[in-house]
Amino acid sequence: MTGMARGFTGCAVDNGGAATTTESSAGRIQASTAELPEPFTLPFRVPAVLKPVRQDDTTDYYEITQRVADAEIIPGATTEIWGYNGTFPGPTIVSERGRQVVVRHRNELPVPTVVHLHGGVTAPEHDGFPTDLVVPSGWDATRDEGKGAHEGHTPGSGSPAEVTEVERDYVYPLDQPAATLWYHDHRMDFTGPQVWRGLAGFHIHHDAEEEALGLPTGDRDVPLMIADRTFAGDGSMPYPALDPALRDQPGVTDEFHSGVLGDCILVNGVPWPVMEVAAVRYRFRILNASNARRYRLRLDDGPSFVQVGSDAGLLDAPATHDELDVAQAERFDVVIDFSDHSVGDEITMVNEHGDNSTEMVMRFVVTREEEDDSRVPDRLVDLERLSTDDVKVEREFVFERTSEDGTMMWTVNGEPWSPDSVAARTVHATVERWRFRAKNVEHPIHVHLSPFQIIERDGNEPGPFDRGWKDTVNLGNGGRADVLVRFDGFRGKYVFHCHNLEHEDMMMMGNFEVV
Ligand code: C2O
Ligand code: CU
């Protein structure tokens, strides 16, 4: 199968330019011209866990340098990445409820960056508002100040702060339940290319309730960051940016307006890796960190997924799935039990939405028997259920394509994102019902600050993947989801947006303000 994916252009279905949808994902495939490795030949690995540089009574302090680095992703080739500490994925931060985390990010990249802790309940000035840039040394910051959130910004309204030079401390109280969080770049107009180059990492958050359950831990608690990429013959990961230097002009070339899809599936930065496992239970924290690709995962000749957690924490009870639909930014915390398998068995994780090279994700090979004292209890955690009786305000947000003066944009209720606008002003700690509708293509919708509960999908009961507290909801083309949300924790201005990163960069974002 060597080179199978080479020059692969197979299945880009053209629905008339911008509305291209392929493999159940909005977007167009950029074909690799590199010779891609044969699937299931490269060893699986997990990102390194970051050590704090210091700790005090309340807080763990970390430092991360964002820099350009060379990686060997395709064997024998050198790929330039932009990485947190020069790695892709970035290092994993592990935290425990009750302790605050402060991460000092240093930007040694050639362009501004912003870090968002996705799923974190974080004060607005630390949440990675898209214009809260950390600019590199020597960057003319005045050119960013004018176009930012701070134009017309009312002091004291809780709107995010200022552009900082080179370094910024992000403070994460993390007074929230155990969950699989992740951090990634969120720079206005340029999130897509900057995440594509490698700016994404895990943040795994624990609490005592979770630890008491007896779920698999240690080496058997494994993050899986799934992301598609494209490799050129020289090893680089091309991205169809209008300005390849990512300095001035945002956006991608016309044919990629709906999204940039790769033909090489990486798990934790390795193409189609193979993981050696014991015939025991493992916990996998599945994250779709792709720009535009959605997956339908299944274990070929393997066990089911036993879901124990959603985006924002554990479920009340486990849910079994033969297939798992995972849209961009969603996390599924699952247990896979290999104990019915014998040494030598191979179990392949496939993507039913894929085609040829994108049909394969990774492989597990059972190499040994081991003791297993883990368990998956029938009851996990007590979940508060938000009630429609408490709804104070209902709002509807339509995610659709519009064009203005011949420029195609992705908008929310017809409006392109502006740092200064406010699409919803919501009262702290009250329950609201938000209805999201997707037009033209599918859109995964993400709300910062507070998780939500999905109460209705397309007018019916929520779907199998809608359980628990979510921060991202996957909408099909024409689809609709109603969620209950209660913004507590902090007041201030935050964003909600489509997590197809090309749509987000092309303005499919809105602001809400908690007052
Ligand atoms: Cu994962 Cu606003 O982003
Ligand atoms: Cu979208």
pLDDT in tens, 428-445: 999 999 999 999 999 999
* Structural contact between residues 352 and 296, judged by C-beta atoms closer than 8 angstroms: yes
393/401 Cα distance (integer angstroms): 26
The arithmetic mean of pLDDT across residues 176-191, rounded, is 98
Q: What is the largest CA-CA distance in the chain?
A: 65
* Structural contact between residues 60 and 52, judged by C-beta atoms closer than 8 angstroms: yes
What pLDDT, on the 0 to 100 scale, is given for residue 141?
A: 66
Q: Which of 444, 90, 50, 71 is nearest to 271 (CA)?
A: 71
What pLDDT, on the 0 to 100 scale, is given for residue 142?
A: 65
pLDDT at 146 over 70: no
DSSP character string of 95-156: EETTSEEEEEEEE-SSS-B-EEEET----GGGTT-TT--EEPTT--THHHHTTSTTTTPPTT
What pLDDT, on the 0 to 100 scale, is given for residue 407?
A: 82
Helix count and strand count (H, E) for the chain? 4, 37
Q: Is the C-beta atom of 184 inside 6 A of ligand 1?
A: yes
For residue 470, give the DSSP letter.
B
Percent over 90 (pLDDT), the chain? 89
Average pLDDT over the chain, rounded to an integer: 92
What pLDDT, on the 0 to 100 scale, is given for residue 21?
A: 63
DSSP character string of 79-100: EEEEEETTBSSPPBEEEETTSE
pLDDT at 24 over 80: no
Secondary structure of 6-36 in the HEC alphabet? CCCCCCCCCCCHHHCEECCEECEECCCCCCC
How many angstroms separate the alpha carbon of residue 486 from the centre of ligand 2?
Answer: 23
Smallest-distance ligand from the CA of 508: 2
For residue 503, give the DSSP letter.
H
What pLDDT, on the 0 to 100 scale, is given for residue 406?
A: 80
Q: Which residue(s) pair with 159 in the sheet?
A: none
Which three-class secondary structure state does DSSP give residue 255? helix
Residues 309-352 pLDDT 10s? 999 999 999 999 999 999 999 999 999 999 999 999 999 999 99
Q: Whose CA is nearest to atom 3 of ligand 1?
A: 118
Q: Is the C-beta atom of 503 inside 6 A of ligand 1?
A: no
135/90 Cα distance (integer angstroms): 20
* Structural contact between residues 121 and 311, judged by C-beta atoms closer than 8 angstroms: no
How many angstroms separate the alpha carbon of residue 26 from the centre of ligand 2?
Answer: 8
What pLDDT, on the 0 to 100 scale, is given for residue 165?
A: 95
What pLDDT, on the 0 to 100 scale, is given for residue 327?
A: 98
The arithmetic mean of pLDDT across residues 189-209, rounded, is 98
Q: Which of 512, 416, 472, 509 is nearest to 186 (CA)?
A: 509
The arithmetic mean of pLDDT across residues 297-311, rounded, is 97
Using DSSP bridges, classify how beta strands 431-438 and 391-404 pair: parallel, antiparallel or unpaired.
parallel
What pLDDT, on the 0 to 100 scale, is given for residue 20?
A: 57
Smallest-distance ligand from the CA of 446: 1
503/192 Cα distance (integer angstroms): 9
* Structural contact between residues 320 and 342, judged by C-beta atoms closer than 8 angstroms: no
pTM (two decimals): 0.93
Ligand 1, residue 504: give the atom nearest the CA: 2
Q: Which of 179, 21, 15, 24 is nearest to 93 (CA)?
A: 179
pLDDT at 95 over 60: yes
pLDDT band at 148 (very low <50, low <70, confident <90, very high): very low
pLDDT at 446 over 60: yes
Specify the amino acid at residue 231. F
How many angstroms separate the alpha carbon of residue 119 from the centre of ligand 1?
Answer: 8
Using DSSP bridges, classify how beta strands 59-71 and 100-107 pair: parallel, antiparallel or unpaired.
parallel
CA 303 to chain centre: 25
pLDDT band at 382 (very low <50, low <70, confident <90, very high): very high
The arithmetic mean of pLDDT across residues 235-254, rounded, is 95
Which three-class secondary structure state does DSSP give residue 243? coil
Burial 142-156 (b: 16+ CB within 10 A, else e): eebbeebbbeebeee
Q: Is the C-beta atom of 448 inside 6 A of ligand 1?
A: yes
Q: Whose CA is nearest to atom 1 of ligand 1?
A: 118
The arithmetic mean of pLDDT across residues 81-109, rounded, is 98
Q: Is the C-beta atom of 28 inside 6 A of ligand 1?
A: no
Q: Which region among 18-22, 147-151, 266-270, 503-507 has the lowest average model confidence (pLDDT)?
A: 147-151
Phi and psi at 358, nearest 5°, equal: -90, 0
pLDDT at 383 over 90: yes
Q: Is the C-beta atom of 329 inside 6 A of ligand 1?
A: yes
The arithmetic mean of pLDDT across residues 172-188, rounded, is 98
What pLDDT, on the 0 to 100 scale, is given for residue 60?
A: 98
Percent over 70 (pLDDT), the chain? 91
Q: Where are the beta strands (DSSP E) in 216-294?
A: 221-229, 260-261, 264-267, 270-271, 274-278, 281-288
Ligand 1, residue 495: give the atom nearest the CA: 2
Residues 460-511 pLDDT 10s? 999 999 999 999 999 999 999 999 999 998 999 999 999 999 999 999 999 9
pLDDT band at 415 (very low <50, low <70, confident <90, very high): very high
